Amino acid sequence: MSEKEIKAKTETPMLDELKTGPWPSFVADLERYSEKKPAVGQLLGQLEQSYEDRWNYWQGTVLNVDGYGGGVIARYSELGEQYPDIAQFHTIRVIPPPGWVYSTEKLRELCDIWEKHSAGIMQLHGMTGDILLLGTDNKTTFEAAEELMEKGWDLGGSGPALRTLACCVGEARCEAACFDTMALTKHLTDNYISELHRPELPYKYKFKLSGCANDCAASMQRSDMPVIGTWRGAMQINQDEVGKFIDDKGIEFVIDNVLTRCPTNCISLKGKTIDVDNDNCVRCMHCINVMHRALKPGKDRGATILIGGKRTLKIGDTMSSVLVPFMPLKTEEDFTKLTDLIDSIWEFWGDNGLEHERIGEFIARVGLGTFLEGIGLEPDPQMINQPRTSPYIKFEELTGSKIDGEPEHNPAVSNEEGEMAEKAI
């Protein structure tokens, strides 16, 4: 920015415009609260300056609670002179109860701790799914963390580590849930708490768990490893309810909004009943969503495990893709099978991944076939949309020697990061 002199703001005319209108205003709330905590007023002052200049005044830095490699998002204000109470203004990430459910007792406990040690701002929740507590300095960060941990709370993930897990409401309130999303979220969090607190992975790793293909946890593209509920065998159909639905909505509605919307055309009408070609149903949930009194997921439930979703840097957006089409997730052994799979993925990725290489990027670089071999999983046609169309293939069983018996000396394919990445742009 230019070298103009910046003074502490006493008025916030631009932010004041955000106090009007029907949606609840964070500005109005924080302004009221600034009477108790002057730091909050200074935060609004700096924000007003940002609005005026279209410029940001936070610097990032690293601050770690003893024994932890993440969980604190440390910020220093470049306008610390003008706004001394926010010169250091850090965020603590805290792991929420799975599914973001709270008793008021626990949420009030969090409020009390936070009021005591900080500027008293909360975000419920951050994009990672963490509880975000804003407004500690270099000293109170540790005091707050200490008290949080004494009361049983724990810090969330940040940096090249396992991140805080997120899940949908699942079996706690949803009839569509095909596995216990909350229990598995708790299990994975506790099992891998060391990887969450102490960065040991090549880069960040996110799990998000949804009980069905509606994916209320938005896991497909926003997590490295979505676990999404599904079922084996036939879906449940209550033909009486189908009849009622047809009577109520009319046959045209059923044709236009159910039959023709099935991605695999596997529903047919038989009078006032329906028939589902269960072998071709891909468990997309659409018909169940629309006719939820009549249709339900089948009884033999579990989840599809996918891998590799992330946002755009560096190789462009990647959607997760199928790794295990169906995995039961009911018993202790089922959970162990999943953690065994995760362990082998992390081992192979840990040994071969480049620094800052997400698992999706790693798979794109080494190839899904190589990846499967590395983690000891058999290829499955459900992992792909179609077999390859490119004919240039190195069949390991068939290559190895030339016609005259001379050993093959193909140059190794370059795996240089820069070169690969460059091609990908």
Partner 1 sequence: MSVKTKKKMAPRDNGAPDHRPNLHPLMLKNYGKWDYHEKLRPGLLLYVAESGDKLWTVRAGSPRTMSIDTVRKICDLADKYAQGHLRFTSRANVEFSLANEDDIEPLMEEIRSVLGFPIGGTGHSLSNVLHTQGWMHCNLPGTDAAGSVKSIMDQFINEFVTDDKLPARVKISASCCQINCGGQADIAINVQHHHPPVIKPQGVGICELPKVVAICPVAAIRPRQGDDGKTTMEVVDEKCMYCGACHGQCPTMEIRDANTDTLSIWIGGKNSSTRKGPSFMKLAMWGLPNNPPRWPEVGEALQTILDCYKSSAKQYERMGEWIDRIGWKRFFEMTGFPFTKYHIDDSVSARSTFNTSTHVRI
Among 39, 40, 92, 237, the residue binding partner 1 under the rule CB under 8 A is 40
Picking from 86, 110, 88, 84, the residue whose alpha carbon sits closest to that of residue 97 is 110
Among 74, 92, 196, 216, the residue binding ligand SF4 under the rule CB under 6 A is 216
Please report whether residue 215 would count as binding ligand SF4 according to CB under 6 A: yes
Please give the Cα distance from 50 to 66 (Å, whole number): 34
Residues 228-287 that bind ligand SF4 (CB under 6 A): 229
Among 93, 219, 237, 371, the residue binding partner 1 under the rule CB under 8 A is 219
Residue 283 CA, chain-centre distance (Å), reads 21
Please give the Cα distance from 91 to 74 (Å, whole number): 6
Please report whether residue 347 would count as binding partner 1 according to CB under 8 A: no
Residue whose CB is less far from ligand SF4, 198 or 232: 232
Cβ count within 10 A of residue 27: 18
* Per-position b or e across 256-292, b if 16+ CB within 10 A of its CB: eebbeebeeebbeeeeeebebeeeebebbbbbbebbe
Residues 48-67 that bind partner 1 (CB under 8 A): 50-51, 53-60, 67
Please report whether residue 33 would count as binding partner 1 according to CB under 8 A: yes
Please give the Cα distance from 36 to 120 (Å, whole number): 9
Stretch that binds partner 1, among 146-154, 273-281, 387-395, 407-415 (CB under 8 A): 146-154
Contact of residue 91 among partner 1, ligand SF4, none (CB under 5-8 Å per partner type): partner 1
Residue whose CB is less far from ligand SF4, 198 or 314: 314
x-or-dash string of contact with ligand SF4, 149-188, rule CB under 6 A: -------------------xxx---x-xx-----------
Q: Sort 312 into a burial class: Cβ within 10 Å, 0-12 / 13-18 / 19+.
A: exposed
Across-strand partners of 75? 60
Residue whose CB is less far from ligand SF4, 128 or 219: 219
User: What are φ and ψ of residue 135, in 5° steps?
Assistant: 110, 45
Please give the residue ranges that form the binding site for ligand SF4 (CB under 6 A): 168-170, 174, 176-177, 210-212, 214-216, 229
